[in-house]
Amino acid sequence: MSEPSRTDRYMARVEQHLLTFPRLSDKIGFLDTQIERWDRESERFEETEGRSHPGATAFDFAETTAALCALRGRLTQRSAA
C-alpha cells in the first residue's frame, strides 16, 4: 500500500478544518480563499521557475487546486440539494 501524497495529507487537514465551521457558506468561503491562494502560489512557482517552492512540482499545485475545487463542488451540490 502506498503512502498518501502530499495533496492527500493536505486535503485531510483541510477537511478536518472545515468541521470547525458551523455554516456551509463559511466552508465554501474558506475553500475559495484556499483555491485563490494555491493559484497565486502556482503563478509564483512558475514565475520563479520552481525556486519559490523547492521540491515541489507544477503537478503538486495542479493536483491540490483540483482537489480543493472538487471538494468545493461537492459542498456546493450539497447546498443546492
The predicted structure's pLDDT at residue 2:
87
19 within domain boundaries:
no
7 within domain boundaries:
no
Chain segment 1-46, per-residue pLDDT in tens: 789 999 999 999 999 999 999 999 999 999 999 999 999 999 999 9
Q: How many domains does the chain have?
A: 1
pTM: 0.91
49 within domain boundaries:
yes
Q: All 3 cell numbers of residue 43? A: 503563478
Q: How many CB atoms are located within 10 Å of the residue 66 CB? A: 13
Residue 55, Ramachandran bin (φ over 0: left; ψ between -120 and 50: alpha; else beta): left
Domain that includes residue 33, residue range: 24-80
